[in-house]
Amino acid sequence: MDKIGVKNRIEKLTAEINKLRYEYHILDKPDATDEVYDSLTRELKELEEKYPELKLPDSPIGRIGGKPLSKFQKVRHQVRQWSFDDVFSFGELGKWEEKVSRLINKFSLTRPSGTLSQRERGDVFYIDFCCELKIDGLKVILTYENGIFIRGATRGDGIIGEDVTNNLKTISSIPLKLNYPVDCVVVGECYLGKDELNRINETRAGRKEALFANSRNAAAGTIRQLDPKVAASRKLECFIYDMDYISLTRSTGTLSQRERGEYGIPETQIEELELLKKLGFNINEEYKLCKNIEKIEEYCRKWIEKRDSLNYGLDGIVIKINSNGIQKALGYTGKSPRWGVAYKFPAEKVTTVVEDIKVQVGRTGALTPLAHLRPVSVAGSTVSRATLHNEDEIKRLDIRIGDTVVVRKAGDIIPEVVEVIKNLRTGNEKIFHMPARCPICGGAVSRENLEVRPLSTETTKRGRTSKTSAATYCLNPKCFAVEKEKIIHFASKKGFNIDGMGEKIVEQLMNEGIISNAAEIFELEKGDLEPLERFAEKSADNLIASIEKSKKIALEKFLFALGIRYLGEESSVLISKNLAIIEKIYSNAINQKSKIKNQNDNSKCKIKNLKDIIEYFSKINKEQWMGIKGIGEKSAESLVDWFSDKDNLKLLEKMDRLGVKLENYSKLLVANYKLQNKTFVLTGELENFTRDEAKDMIRKAGGDVSGSVSAKTDYVVAGENPGSKYDKAKKLGVGIINEREFKRLFK
């Protein structure tokens, strides 16, 4: 190949590799495998090493990194960089909107650079906003001349930053050459994906190096590496969100009229983002035009809920007046733009003081220590209580009354103490001890002995081993707190779904001596309720009507409502699906270890009411319960214990006398066996049906539903805003399908 041929080959390779990079990192539509990309890159590198004079300015080989620097050079920004003012509540956001509206109404319809356009004059009287995700990363400023990337800098003090060009060239989502040869200065956010952060921290842990606390710290540390090869080894990404400057001239002459239309000065922030994308920049596509403050709030709330589903850190929403003309008219204060603001998401970790530690008793009798905190706002709500889990956790963290602690709350999870700031101790803090007796009934308390399967051949010779549970339990089965929690669970939505029977009402009815167990709910009459505080005639009527309606209940909900330890929602469904097995075991029609064809066929099953439940369930032993696929050892032991207790059976007899009836369980009958032996996990928001409807579809097709992902899971059905189950499925290599693919399984 002669030199002209080499030159043509280098030009074509450079263009092709940059095209593939653009498709992969910007459009997220890879058109070639990594092997093809790597092969082309190797060929280009070899040619450039042999003919360095033919290397092009936008060569992708330049991303690999140059020589290490001794220090970063300072660089003055062409356009001063500003920071948005922060707001921390929707009330503050509303005040900002009112303020800018007043300022705009005071303007004459002119600006320093000339009169407003007709469109902008309309916008003065009707403001709309562009909302964008606020990525938790490091701000960078990129300069292009004639479409070629010539410099990248950090923000610094807003006037002078540091030249980090070589490190930024290693980021594949930053174009070295734009799709059109214009001069411009753009602003963006460099970030490190959560997956990449985990990979880097695993490597650092193996080398016994300090781990990065979060992706922002890792991104900042990477950008400021003096050796670009270190930056290249960490896969940073970058979103561009602003254009400080653009020139519509180029070295070859001015743009044509068509080009000016396509690449002209944008009049709005939305148009600016669209122009950035046309030029070849990676923009975050989740921006939205909002017409009023209510729509902004709706957008913010959506992303508060979805933030954990993203692979990058998100710490808020940036709200900008959409019209660039109005932005220029409003201008800046001494430190920030008047035309925009950053709504910061509620903190998920905050510090506060443990004022006391008290113990509550749950429906299983477990004693749970609770930290009573100095009230503090976390994750959008005021928190004054946090779980400490158990005595072992208190000792592990060394939490004392009076300590300053870090409290965490994510979504609807109960707040918990995750760290003690011991440097702030005064010496007056008090060590907490679990009570020797139940704080509610005064009964004895104890830790359970748990049987553990041996883990080695040596321990196998000695049989099972025992260890003590972390939790402490009240040993009094009639403890007021235990009964109260049982009744609350019994009446909950997933149980009998008795509307109006919440925690306060249950406690009130128990304190007045009106009910002492779940069965007595069905004895309540209007006259029992009307004399009580909180009960007017209408509320008494409503509760009685709700109780009457609840008497007809599906078997799986009934079993769940009983509060049998280790028997959750899915285990209750498994039992309901396999009544035929229970009946055959009971009648000794088959050997208890053999498999039964059409084991889910309950159509001719004799178990129809609570009398049948008492008769059949009380005779099944642990091994027979475990013969039902999905019922584990602990669940089986609890079922035997519960149905062997005479008081529990009397409770069922009383419910039967008071009119509690099992619904026809035809909903659980298997219509076909398309999904037999397949286990599904549901995560996220489904569009076309509810979570319960999806579960019924799976069960009717012979499949099973689980609440957690494991290597044995066949499919994870992921809707909008999937959670941690989605991430775990990816990690385990479990099949992930969307709603459309899920529906195809039933055709």
Q: Write out the catalytic residue numbers.
A: 134
Residue 171 token pair:
């980021």
Query: What totals of helices (H) and strands (E) does the chain contain, helices first?
Result: 28, 30
Q: If we measure between CA atoms, which residue out of 291, 326, 260, 257 comes closest to residue 117?
A: 326
CB 263 within 8 A of CB 60: no
Residue with structure tokens 């300590």? 403
Let me know: does 446 contact 473? Beta carbons within 8 Å.
yes
d(CA 225, CA 223): 6
What is the bridge-based pairing of β-strands 715-718 and 679-683?
parallel
CA-CA-CA-CA torsion sign (509, 511, 513, 516): positive
Which residue(s) pair with 430 in the sheet?
401
How far apart CA 722 and CA 684 sit, in angstroms, is: 4
Phi-psi region of 558 (alpha: psi -120 to 50; beta: other; left: phi over 0): alpha
Q: Are 469 and 356 in contact (CB under 8 A)?
A: no
State how far the Cα of 164 lies from the Cα of 232, in Å rounded to an integer.
13
CA distance 235 to 215: 12
Contacts of 236 (CB under 8 A, 6+ apart): 170, 171, 190, 191, 192, 219, 222, 223
Give 314's strand partners.
135
Q: Say how far apart CA 555 and CA 501 lie, in whole Å.
A: 21
Spatial neighbors of 145 by CB under 8 A, at least 6 apart, are 183
Six token digits for residue 126: 């009707």
In contact, 347 and 377? CB cutoff 8 Å: yes
Can you tell me the distance from the alpha carbon of 364 to that of 485, in angstroms, rounded to the nearest whole number? Answer: 8
CB count in 10 Å sphere of residue 380: 16
How many Å from the N-terminal Cα to the C-terminal Cα in the chain? 58
**SS3 of 494, please?**
coil
Q: How does DSSP classify residue 192?
A: E
Q: What is the arrangement of strands in the sheet containing 183-192, beginning at the earlier edge strand?
A: 148-154, 138-145, 183-192, 236-247
Q: CA-based diameter of the chain, in Å?
A: 103
Q: Identify whether the C-beta of residue 352 lies closer than 8 Å to the C-beta of residue 408.
A: no
Closest CA to 451 of 441, 439, 463, 465: 465
- Beta partners for residue 448, in sequence order: none
Phi then psi dihedrals of residue 33, to 5 deg: -75, 165
**Closest by CA position to 383, among listed 424, 427, 352:** 352
d(CA 232, CA 62): 11
Element holding 446 (H helix, E strand): strand 445-452
Residue 447 CB neighbours (<10 A): 17
What tokens appear for 341 in the block?
A: 């603001």
